[in-house]
Structure 1
Amino acid sequence: MKQRHITQVIVLTILSCLALFYVEQILELSYIMKTLAKILLFLIVPIVFIKVVLKERLFESLRLNQVDVKGLQYGVGLGLLSVIVILAAYVLLQDQINGETIILDLQNRLNITLETYIFVALYITFGNSLLEEFYFRGFIFLKFYQSGYHVLGYIFSSALFAIYHVAIFATWFNFELILLALAGLFVVGLIFNWLNTKSNNFLNSWILHICADIAVVSIGFYLFWSM
C-alpha cells in the first residue's frame, strides 16, 4: 500500500472502533443488532476499501489463494497452549473477578441467557474471531507489514486490538484489571501478528483465536451455571 493508503486505513479503523464502542456501550441495541454493526464495520467496510480504493482482489489481497498448511502448525501449537494459560489465569485471578457482574451485564445489556449462550458462544468462537482476525491482522497488520511498515503494523494493530476490547469489558473489571487486560491483549496482538508472518495470511492467528475463545466461553458457561 502507498503511504496515503496507510493513513486512510489508520483513520478509518480508529473511527470504526470508536463507532463500535458507541454501539456497544451507549446504544441500547440487541446482541443481534450489535453483531450486524460489527459485521458492517469490520467486514463490509474493509472489503469495500480493498476492492474500491486499493483495487485488489480480496483473496489475493489477503494471501488466501495460496495457503501453506505446514505453516499453520504454529497456530495449532500456540492455540492449545493458550487454552491452558487462560484457564490457569482464571483460576489464579477468580477472587478478583466478579462473575455475577459479568453475567448480569450479559443478561441486561445484551439479553443473553443460559439458553441462548450456546449460540452466542459458537458465534464468538468461530464468527467473531474470524471478523477480528480479518480486520486487525488481515486488513491492518499484514497490509502494513507487506508494504514495509513493519513496526507501525505491529504497534498500531496490537494497540487498536487491545483498546477495542474495552467496549466489551468496560463494566466487568476494576481499573487495575482493565489495565492488566489491556497489557495482556496488546502482547497477544503482537504474538498474533508474528504468527501471521509465518503463513503470510491471518489463518494462524485465527486458529489461535478460536482456541483462546474456547477457553473464554467455557469460563462463561461455568459462571452461568454457578449463579
Structure 2
Amino acid sequence: MQKWFGAVFPILSILLLLWIEQSVGVTYGVKTVAKVILFLAIPLMLFRATRFPFLRFRKADRKSIRLAFILGISIMALIIGAFLLLQPHIDIASLRDDLLQSGITPAVFPFIALYILLGNSVIEEFFFRGLLPSLFGESKIRFILPPFFFSIYHIAIFLPWFTLPILLLAVGGLWAGGLIFQLVNEKCRTILPSWIIHMFADLGILLIGVYILYFY
C-alpha cells in the first residue's frame, strides 16, 4: 500500500498541479493552496499514525548541519552562476510576463519570497525528502523516484520559459540536487539538513527573481 502510494500519488499530484499551472490560468495564491492540499494536508491525514519521525529536527547532528550549510551556499552560487551563463538562452521577458500574470508583482514579491523561503521549502521537503522516501522504506528506490518526482514537478512549473535542451539539463540538475538533499539526510533521518540546503537554493532563485522583477 505504502509503496504503491509512493509511486502513484506523486504522479497524480504533479499532473494536477501541471494542469493548474499551465491550463487554468489561476493566481499564485490558488496554486499555493492546491500545493498545500496535495503535498501536505492529504499526506498528513493519510499517514498521521506514523507520527512522521523525519520531522524530529533534534536528531540532526552538528556534522550534518555543517555539511548542509556548505552545500547550500555552494548550490546557491551554482544556481546564480548557471543563470548568468545561460541567460542568453532564457526568454526572460516571457518569464517576467508569466510571473506578473500569476500575480507575482514587484509590490507583493517580498511577501511571496518570504513564503517561498520559509513555507514552500518545508512543504516540499516534507513531501519529497520526508514522506516519499519513508514510503519506500529501505529500498534503493527511495534514492531514485523521489528526486525524479522532485525534478519533474519543478520542470512542470518552468516549462514555458526554456528551450528543450535547457529543460533536459534542468531535469538532470534537479534530480542530482534532489539526490544530494536525500543523501545529506541519511545519517540523522530528519529533513532538517536538506531543508537548510533547500532554503539556500531558493535564496539563489529569489535573487534572480529580484533581478528579473526590479532590474530587467
TM-score w.r.t. structure 2 length?
Answer: 0.94
Cα deviation for residue 69 of structure 1 reads 4.1
After superposition, residues 15-26 of structure 1 pair within 5 angstroms as 15-26=12-23
Select which of 191, 213, 224 maps to 2:202.
Answer: 213
4+ runs of 1 displaced by more than 2 Å? 65-69
Whole-Å separation in 2 of the counterparts to 1:83 and 1:134: 21
Whole-Å separation in 2 of the counterparts to 1:167 and 1:127: 20
**Counterpart residue number, 1:100:** 93
After superposition, residues 25-40 of structure 1 pair within 5 angstroms as 25-40=22-37
**Offset from partner CA, 1:47-91 (integer Å, 9 cap, x none):** 11212xxx3223xx3251642341322211111111211121122
Select which of 201, 205, 211 maps to 2:190.
Answer: 201
**Offset from partner CA, 1:4-46 (integer Å, 9 cap, x none):** 3111222122111111111111112221111011000000111
Is the 2:57–2:191 contact (alpha carbons within 8 Å) kept by the matching residues of 1?
no
After superposition, residues 155-174 of structure 1 pair within 5 angstroms as 155-174=144-163
**Counterpart residue number, 2:168:** 179
What amino acid maps onto 2:96 in structure 1? I
What amino acid maps onto 1:100 in structure 2? A
Whole-Å separation in 1 of the counterparts to 2:80 and 2:159: 21
What amino acid maps onto 1:176 in structure 2? P
**Counterpart residue number, 1:12:** 9
1:56 aligns with 2:80: no
Whole-Å separation in 1 of the counterparts to 2:151 and 2:57: 29
Whole-Å separation in 2 of the counterparts to 1:199 and 1:62: 9
Cα deviation for residue 99 of structure 1 reads 1.4
CA RMSD of aligned residues (A): 1.4
Structure 1, unpaired ranges of 5+: none
Whole-Å separation in 2 of the counterparts to 1:157 and 1:170: 20
Q: Report how many residues are paired.
A: 215
TM-score w.r.t. structure 1 length?
Answer: 0.90
**Counterpart residue number, 1:72:** 65
Select which of 118, 125, 128 maps to 2:120.
Answer: 128
**Counterpart residue number, 1:154:** 143
**Offset from partner CA, 1:150-195 (integer Å, 9 cap, x none):** x200110011101111221011111111111111101111111101
**Other structure's SS at 1:198 match:** coil
Structure 2, unpaired ranges of 5+: none
Greater relative contact order (Cα 8 A, min sep 6): structure 1 or 2?
Answer: 2
What amino acid maps onto 1:138 in structure 2? G
Whole-Å separation in 2 of the counterparts to 1:41 and 1:141: 17
Is the 2:6–2:135 contact (alpha carbons within 8 Å) kept by the matching residues of 1?
no
Q: 1:47 to 1:202 in 2, by over 3 A?
A: same
**Counterpart residue number, 1:81:** 74
Q: 1:189 to 1:65 in 2, by over 3 A?
A: closer
Whole-Å separation in 1 of the counterparts to 2:61 and 2:110: 30
**Counterpart residue number, 2:109:** 117
